[in-house]
Amino acid sequence: MYSSSQTDNARPFLTWQRILDWAQEHYRYRIFNRDEKVPARAGLLYLVHRGAIRLVGNSQISASLKQKHSTSRIPLVAAEEAFLGFVGAGQPFEIVAQSPFNLQSFAHIDQTAVIWLYWHDLDNWPHFRREVLDAFRHQHQRKLLWLSTLGQRRTIDRLLGFLTLLIEEYGEPCEQGYYLPWTLTHAQIGSAIGSTRVTVTRLMGKLRQRNLIQHYGDNLICMPTEAVHQQRA
């Protein structure tokens, strides 16, 4: 949980433990396999206990399919799915169904454990509710930064901005710098930045040539410390 004092040490372990006990007692706790859909409903609040959630958006808007008196016989293409970010352990998420887009949540890794509650269940833990709401404030600010980078015209800038934001938020230290502890396919990255798998593969190569990113371990992305510093300069 993103706590108001912004340090891990201040994390309210006691409250978490109580909520965890309560959730298991009330069958509000479930473990998901990798890529399994978390059937989140509007009006409920979800807390990630372990693992990571992947948020995905489905667009039902397409300018081309809406032509009046269209005589096209081309079958409707599957709605484009966009990767919208991760929700890590200790973080809350919620899905409010809103046309013309459709938000969904998936376990991004095996053994992802999720608790769910009604908002009024938090009446017993007002401090915790405040923290949940502060966590959403924080997530909202992060999404504004994400929108900033998606407004950039050149795809390579959007790609670098996107990776920088993810590693800034979820990165774990390694010898070379910081790495993103979860894999993302090039198709998933493309779906986040309005590009294609092929283009992402090509541009990732360019970023590696310029030493702005590196491979790490088994298919993970690392950002060397000097690249991070350069960008902040």
> Which residues would be at the binding site for its own copies (CB under 8 A)?
55, 57-64, 66-68, 80-85, 94, 96, 98-101, 103, 130, 133-134, 136-154, 156-161, 164, 190-196, 206-207, 210-212, 227, 230-232
Pick the closer one to its own copies by CB: 29 or 54.
Answer: 54
Crossing angle of helices 13-25 and 126-150, in 10° steps, is 100
Spatial neighbors of 116 by CB under 8 A, at least 6 apart, are: 23, 28, 40, 44, 45, 46, 47
Compute the least distance from the CB of residue 75 to its own copies, in Å: 16
Q: Tokens 């990776």 appear where?
A: 163
CB 191 within 8 A of CB 222: no
* Shortest Å distance, C-beta 22 to its own copies: 22
Least distance to its own copies, CB of residue 125, Å: 14
Return d(Cα 211, Cα 213) in angstroms, integer: 5
Judged by beta carbon, residue 19 or residue 192, the one nearer its own copies is 192
Beta carbon nearer to its own copies, 107 or 193 = 193
Q: Which is nearer to its own copies, 13 or 77 (CB)?
A: 77
> In a 10 Å sphere around its CB, with 0-12 CB exposed, 13-18 middle and 19+ buried, how is residue 144 labelled?
exposed
Of 64 and 219, nearer to its own copies (C-beta) is 64
* Shortest spacing between CB 101 and its own copies, in angstroms: 4
| Strand (E) or helix (H) holding 44 | strand 44-50
